[in-house]
Structures are given as C-alpha cells and as structure tokens.
C-alpha cells in the first residue's frame, strides 16, 4: 500500500542546537509524506508529489502539521496509576507510592492491564516510541513488550533490578537480576520492534555485586542500551556518597561496575559535577531531561547547555512526571530553561521530543521525517482549542503558529497518530 499524507510538514536537516535553529528545519506549508510498506519513502511539496504518484491513496490533513511521532526517552509504565499523586521528596515518594504500586506487578493480569492503559494514553498524546523501566517482576517486562507488539510500537524496556533499600517483596539478588535479565533479553531483544535495556534502578537500590553483575551482562550484549538514574536530587547524592564512600562521585558508582558507556541513558542528571559532565561527554553517553518530574518532586533545574556537549533526550518520566503529554513536557522544558536564562527555540523543543530522543536511544529509524525512517507520525492541529486558536490566528510566522500548541497543547492537539504508516485513531 502506498499512501500520500498531505498537510504541513516539518523536518530537521541537522541538530538545531548546533546551528541557528531556524536554519535546521525544512518546512512545507503544502507538504506531503509518501508512505510505503510502513516507512517514509519521500517528503516534499504536495503538488509535485501528487503528480508523481497519481495512484497513491491520499489522506488530506489540511493545515495540520505532520511531525515524527514523539519519542519518550525515560518512563516508568508501572507508575501509570499513581501519576499526579501528592508529592514529597524523591525517597518519600518512592516509599509512599512507587514501591507499593510496583509490588502489584507480580500479577501478570495487573501488569498487562496497566501496560495496555499506558500505551493507549501514550498514543493518544502522539508518542509512538518510548524507553521504559518495568519492575523486578519478569511478568512486567513480558506485559509491556507484548502490548507494544500488538500495536507495532517501537519500545525499549527492561526488568528494574534492586537488591537493597527496597521492600522485601521488591528485592531480587545479584544473581537473579542477571539471570532474569539475560533470559528476557534473549526472548525480546530484536523481536519485532522491541529492544531490551539493562536496568538497574539506581545505585542506592543495588549492591556493588548487583551493579557488577549487570555491568557484566551489558558487556556481553553491547548492542543493548543501559538505563538508570543519576543525580536527581541533592539528598539522593548525599545518600550515594554515604553508600559508596570510595567513589569519586555519583557517576563513578556506575563506571566502577561497568555501567558507563556510549549506549548508557542517565535519567535526570541535574546536579552534575564538572568531572561527571566531562566523563559523560567523553564516552558519548546520553542524559535524559524529565522536566515535569523535576518540578513536581522538587528536584532542581536541568542545564540545557549539556545539549551542546552530549546526547540529550526528553521524557515524561511517568509517573513522577505529571503528564503523559510530550507537548506538556516540551512546555516544562522551556520554562525550566527560562529559569536558567536559556531561551529554547520551538525548533529545539520539537527536536528534543523527536530526533534528539531517538539519538539518545541510538535509534536512527525513528524520530525523523526523512526517507527510510519508519512512518511513525504525529499530526498536530495547531488550533485545537479556543485558547490556542485565538493565539494561532495572530501568528505571522511558522514558529508563532507552532509555539502556542507546544505551550498549551495536550491530547486534543493530536489529530492523528501513525505507527509504521497505520492510523491509530
């Protein structure tokens, strides 16, 4: 099946943090995306492409904006049901809400129901790929991979490993973490659009033996990603210093156990030392900005200057994050950057939510509106609500037209979502 999607198109030609953001974008007011066999075959002016492809099925989205589907680079799908719970500091929040909820995922039926709900909510908000923590239960990993496969979604996920400083029913061991993860990796990594991620929750909940076991597993499978948390809150950092007195800093607790590398994803990364910044950049690792979570739990203000030195992804961090929407996440990223004196251009925000996050995941097949990429797309109505429409009506430029939807949009702004070229709404 060959399909021609019509609408405004916006594609990146390069990283908008590397050059003038407006020079990094190719925009067609009357554009088209040609989809063949689930992939993008061509992007260009609608008039020319309609003439060149007279037999193609045409879906006309009018003045709506066709973008790559959003890529959420750090999420905890098991926390779907506890999103927007009254918050405390990080450790209190984990003990009060997260751990009791995660204990329920020993039940495969519960895990499957939450996985289905989470993916439906993500798709409704225009998110077509994500990287998720599961729980210590293998059933939780099976559930999210199975639900994603039924929708054809690209997903990265892994068993969350913890063998200390967690409730008894949420602890595994160094050996069981290695064994369970290896078995799940063998079953799911590379199966369809699934990718396994080695997943220690964070250093405080893993003994050195467990960190070493997971570092060994990652070394055995270097094409996998590894995800964890880093320097989210100051009291967390003090806790890490107490647990690992020999470590130079928080990052060193990972590096010493084989958990630092180019395919590593380090969530939050707010309170980094200069050595940690230099080391992350040196190895080519990625950090993931989770702005609604950082404000909701009171963690601090991420430094977007890191985007000029290393891979930076953007994420909702469900359920510490307070929204399933990558639009709301972009808005929060803009607000946090403003507080640091860093005015982010709308092009940079869209990049972070699409190709930037895809680069963090080492996933060139997604996050791009370009030939060869998977046809995972989000179609935005830039006047979806009365509040947005009245501002959009006064727009004189592309960015004046787009920015109100970034700041005020939600799932109502998502007119259609395509996964591998298949409409999902």
Topology, domain 2-68+368-423: Urease, subunit C; domain 1 (2.30.40)
* Mean pLDDT per 10-residue segment, the chain (425 residues): 96 97 98 98 97 96 98 97 78 82 96 98 98 98 98 98 96 98 98 98 98 98 98 96 98 98 98 98 98 93 96 95 96 98 97 98 98 98 98 97 98 98 94
Q: Helix crossing, 398-408 with 326-339: angle to 10°? A: 100
- Looking at the chain, which residues constitute the CATH 3.20.20.140 domain(s)? 70-360
CA distance 145 to 188: 8
290 φ, ψ to 5°?
Answer: -125, 75
Q: How many CA atoms lie within 13 A of 44 on its CB side?
A: 11
pLDDT at residue number 87: 65
Answer for the pair 128, 70: CB distance below 8 angstroms, yes or no: yes
- CA angle 97–197–356, rounded 5-degree value: 90
| Residue of 389, 391, 295 lying closest to 336 (CA atoms) | 295
Report DSSP state, residue 173: -
**The domain 70-360 belongs to what CATH superfamily?**
Metal-dependent hydrolases (3.20.20.140)
Q: Could you tell me which of 312, 265, 311, 319 has the C-alpha nearest to residue 289? A: 312
CATH 2.30.40.10 segments of the chain = 2-68+368-423
The C-alpha atoms of residue 249 and residue 238 are separated, in whole angstroms, by 10
Q: Tell me, what's the pLDDT at 303?
A: 98
Q: Is-contact 7 31, C-beta < 8 A?
A: yes
By DSSP bridging, strand 57-68 and strand 225-230 are unpaired
Backbone angles phi, psi at 272, to 5 degrees: -85, 145
Quick one: DSSP state of residue 317?
Answer: -
């Amino acid at each position: 099946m060959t399909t021609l999607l019509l609408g405004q198109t916006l594609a990146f030609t390069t990283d908008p943090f590397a050059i003038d953001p407006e020079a990094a974008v190719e925009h067609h007011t009357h554009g088209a995306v040609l989809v063949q066999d689930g992939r993008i075959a061509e992007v260009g002016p609608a008039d020319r492409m309609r003439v060149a492809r007279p037999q193609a099925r045409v879906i006309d989205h009018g003045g709506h904006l066709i973008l790559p589907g959003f890529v959420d680079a750090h999420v905890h799908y098991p926390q779907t049901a506890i999103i927007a719970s009254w918050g405390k500091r990080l450790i209190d929040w984990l003990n009060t809400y997260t751990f009791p909820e995660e204990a329920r995922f020993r039940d495969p039926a519960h895990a499957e129901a939450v996985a289905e709900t989470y993916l439906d909510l993500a798709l409704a908000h225009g998110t077509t790929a994500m990287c998720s923590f599961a729980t210590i239960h293998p059933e939780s990993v099976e559930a999210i991979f199975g639900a994603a496969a039924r929708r054809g979604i690209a997903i990265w996920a892994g068993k969350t490993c913890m063998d200390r400083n967690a409730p008894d029913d949420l602890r595994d061991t160094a050996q069981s973490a290695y064994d369970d993860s290896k078995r799940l990796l063998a079953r799911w990594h590379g199966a369809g659009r699934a990718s396994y991620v080695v997943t220690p929750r964070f250093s405080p909940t893993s003994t050195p033996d467990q960190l070493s076991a997971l570092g060994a597993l990652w070394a055995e499978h270097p094409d996998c990603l590894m995800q964890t948390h880093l320097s989210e809150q100051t009291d967390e950092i003090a806790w890490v210093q107490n647990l690992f007195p020999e470590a130079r800093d928080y990052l060193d607790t990972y590096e010493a156990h084989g958990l630092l590398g180019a395919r590593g994803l380090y969530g939050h990364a707010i309170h980094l030392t200069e050595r940690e910044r230099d080391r992350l950049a040196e190895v080519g690792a990625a950090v993931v900005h989770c702005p609604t979570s950082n404000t909701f739990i009171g963690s601090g203000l991420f430094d977007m200057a890191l985007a000029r030195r290393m891979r930076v992804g953007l994420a909702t961090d469900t359920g510490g994050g307070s929204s399933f929407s990558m639009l709301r996440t972009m808005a929060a990223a803009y607000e946090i950057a403003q507080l640091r004196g860093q005015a982010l251009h709308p092009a940079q925000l869209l990049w972070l939510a699409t190709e930037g996050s895809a680069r963090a995941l080492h996933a060139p097949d997604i996050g791009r509106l370009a030939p060869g990429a998977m046809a995972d797309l989000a179609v935005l109505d830039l006047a979806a609500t009365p509040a947005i429409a009245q501002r959009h009506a006064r727009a004189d430029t592309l960015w004046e037209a787009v920015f109100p939807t970034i700041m005020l949009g939600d799932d109502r702004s998502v007119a259609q979502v395509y996964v591998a070229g298949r409409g999902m709404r």
